[in-house]
Amino acid sequence: MIDALAATPHVTRREDYREPDWLVPEITLDFELDPAATRVRATLSVTRNGNHDRPLRLDGDGLTPLSVKADGTDAVYEMDGPALVVALPGDDHIIETEVEIAPERNTQLMGLYASGGNLCTQCEAEGFRRITFFPDRPDVLSKYRVKMTADKARFPVLLANGDPVAQGDAADGKHWAEWHDPFPKPCYLFALVAGDLAANTATFTTLSGRAVKLGIWVRTADLPKTDHALHALKLSMAWDEKVYGREYDLDVFNIVAVDDFNFGAMENKGLNIFNSRYILADPDTATDYDYDAVAAVVAHEYFHNWSGNRVTCRDWFQLSLKEGFTVYRDQGFSADQGSEAVKRIEDVRGLRAAQFPEDSGPLAHPVRPDEYVEISNFYTATIYNKGAEVIRMMATILGPQKFRAATDLYFQRFDGTAATCEDFVACMEEAGGTDLTQFRRWYSQAGTPRVTATLEHEAGDGRAHLKLRQSVPPTPGQPDKAPMVLPLRIKLFGSQTATPVGEEQLVLLSDGDAQLSFEGVTERPVLSINRGFSAPVIVDTNRSAADLAFLSAHDDDPFARYEAMQQLMLDTLVAAVTQGRADHGPVIEAVANTLADPALDKAFVAEAVLLPSDSFIGDQLPVVDPEAIFQKREALRRDLGKALEQQWRAAYDAAKVNRFEYSPAGKGARRLRTVSLGYINASGAPDGADLAFAQFEGADNMTDRQGGLTSLVNSASDKRIAALDIFYNRYADNALVLDKWFQTQALATREDTAEAVEALALHRDFTLANPNRARALVGAFAVNQRAFHSGDGRGYRFVADQLIALDKLNPQTAAKLVPPLGRWKRFDAARAAKMRAELERILATPGLSKDMTEQVSKSLEG
């Protein structure tokens, strides 16, 4: 019988935080690198922190000490589970440890591991303890000196954090290199890379005139695909100087791309390590989305040099301090590189697709969580994307000048330290002269607030009254919620003249209810609310379909104009699902007006005319009916395609670009062309498949090629198989493009998609060992609402089988794929029972990781 206490996972709680007992001002690491057996010798300068007699406790994971010395002599130590404990007299000591690790057997891709013949590291959040014994927590900041010795032929390039100090040859065909990082950092920012790599290099001159050597390291064959990333890096460095006054501080900044990576990228000081997906790009292999993502992720990781590295987190509960702030910063960078309106639409769509469901499900948690079992499970849309919206709201409340003063104060006050979310908000208060006491609830309360807005007009008196009411729904562990501070940008328009009724107002809704009055309103007003998506909330209004159509044509805020169209479509689709039928006329007319408006750029038009996704429609319903949603959405797509076929064809032809150019205009044209192609095919036009195949075959870029392929994959045309075969044969040796091949099929809305995905899991090119490939097939299929939720439950069984197998290789990646199964309570009883049964089967698997145990247990409880 298993002891109940022993089986209960350890819970880490924010309220239990205590400063580290011992600090490590300096550490020297000496690596004898070998994929099968790497020796790691660590020398730690340790200092007792405070007046106590507690021993030195060094975290480890899978390590066995070969040697432990204190001040030059063998130390008496004990192992407390995976941790090494040494009792020490006095306050200052030199601790030396030696361990041996096997990078080539590290399938978790945490710590030091092998990828594509190279050796690299990933230490956030708790991977450093898999390399050597150390107090593995973010509030222990150390200066690092690192020496690496390796076979010169096999690993000719040796990189680490900081700046290079020395290098040379050693015996037996080996060589060595030494690097030094003068800036104290937590161990999660440690990095090294050893491999056969080539660099695309450049020099960036900082604001103060310092020359920084930039290098993007990849396989030699991939060098031509790194120009875009290098250009994005230089733009990021200049942007951060201009917008935030942040200058780079080392002499070298390196990025390395690897194929096997759990995250998108990692901001290790001076040596960023990237998933190759977010570095490699050329027109033949990368879509416009890929190009945008490369630039955004390069910027995000570079911006971490200040918001994350120079000022880091006191503990992992403060993760959004660095991630939410840095996402906000990279969103601003991306908006400045192209269309601010389109970028905002893309960001909000992503928030609604990932974070809103998270906030309404069993895994809901605050931006600053209160407890965790496995911290890797909290690298979530709430921490990152909702966290960014919290920063955005503070910037809105303070205004640009005060917000910049507040960030300057934050960086100046906490440079070189480990800070908290509270420290950041306090700087906002101090520099902004604003009381943010109630606003802090955004950090402590989970759930998406809901605002009800009711506008009434007294025509005879020329007055309008706006009633606002907010509520925050209960979430696991938080049944009762207090009102939040909601910055709502509001404007009224005359329904006849389309002229604004006064200026836009910023309303801070802080009570449960509020009422605003407007004078001099002679014609019936139409409400534009939450303009620019000024608060991450759900808004219900008493606007009619005619009002929404009016705003979709006349609102002067681009996001609000897009939002009105989306709400019109959403209301129509929800009515169709719940009532069996709905009038498509208003949507068709509004889309026609948008297509015909010459003042709108193609990128905005493409976003505005897209129907809401199946999953977002489902989020509006008390019980999700996947097949009904799909059929009603397809019916509206078909009617839009048929009624406006000539306009779609005109838009398709007008958006043709003779030669690929990565630019806002080029991206917009390709986006509208693909959207138009989709509607032409939805109409049932007899030449639709031929048009898609011609685009697929004739494209000079991946955006157009994949756009044609996607239309074909979702069709019944015989050209579907031909296109998939052509695509596969062309790109069989390119792992990143082959991911697209798997993903496109996993996202297909055909009735046989589940069967096709099962077959793809047996394909010779499919492997769970590579996170990108696992996400491309299993992850994509799990968010394909129609296919995953097929009534027979085969989709649930397939995903559960894959997660059980993946957990044995890479628990972190497996755990991140649990949420689609975890939303079982949102579906009908039959589907819910099948989903719950698969979760229970996963939980009963012997040897299940704590990553998976936490995610699945919470999903079952929720």
Query: Which residue in 126, 267, 301, 358 is the catalytic one?
Result: 301
> Which tokens hold the place of 211?
């020359």
**Rounded to whole angstroms, how far apart are CA atoms 18 and 853?**
27
β-sheet bridge partners, residue 505: 490
Mean pLDDT of 138-149: 99
Cβ burial, residue 855 (10 Å; 0-12/13-18/19+): buried
Q: What is the dihedral of CA 709, 712, 717, 721, to 10 degrees?
A: 40
What is the chain's mean pLDDT, rounded? 98
DSSP state of 804: H
267 annotated active-site: no
CATH homologous superfamily of domain 311-444? Neutral Protease Domain 2 (1.10.390.10)
Give, in words, the CATH class of 465-537: mainly beta
Mean pLDDT of 584-612: 99
Secondary structure in 3-state letters for 615-637: HHHHHCCCCECHHHHHHHHHHHH
pLDDT in tens, 532-555: 999 999 999 999 999 999 999 999
Q: What is the pLDDT of residue 253?
A: 99
State how far the alpha carbon of 679 is from the alpha carbons of 327, 605, 669, 682, in Å: 33, 14, 16, 5
* pLDDT, tens digit (0-9, with 9 covering 90-100), for 746-769: 999 999 999 999 999 999 999 999
- Which two three-digit tokens encode residue 741? 């091949």
pLDDT of the residue at 47: 99
Instruction: Give the C-alpha separation, 787 to 835, whole Å.
Output: 14
Does residue 6 surpass a pLDDT of 70?
no
Q: What b/e sequence results for 424-442 when a residue is b if at least 16 CB atoms lie within 10 Å of its CB, and e otherwise? A: bbbbbbebbebebeebbbb
Please tell me what DSSP assigns to residue 14.
G
Give the model's confidence band at 3: pLDDT under 50 very low, under 70 low, under 90 confident, else very high.
Answer: very low
Strand partners, 168: 176
Pairing of strands 513-519, 73-74: unpaired
Determine the pLDDT at residue 249: 99
Inform me whether the pLDDT recorded for 694 exceeds 80: yes
The pLDDT of 569-576, averaged and rounded, is 99
Intrachain domains 311-444 and 465-537 with the same fold:
no
- CA geometry: angle 641, 745, 284, nearest 5 deg: 85
The yes/no answer on whether domain 12-196 falls in CATH 2.60.40.1730 is: yes
Q: Which of 243, 385, 269 is nearest to 326 (CA)?
A: 385
Domain 732-862 class in CATH: mainly alpha
DSSP state of 495: T
Bridging pattern class, strands 12-13 and 67-70: unpaired
User: Domain map of the chain by residue range?
Assistant: 12-196, 311-444, 465-537, 543-643, 645-719, 732-862
Q: Which two tokens stand for residue 480?
A: 């009762």
Those residues whose C-beta lies under 8 Å from the C-beta of residue 42, and which sit 6 or more positions away, are 27, 28, 29, 30, 95, 96, 97, 98, 132, 133, 134
Between CA 807 and CA 403 the distance in angstroms is 43
Mean pLDDT of 349-375: 98
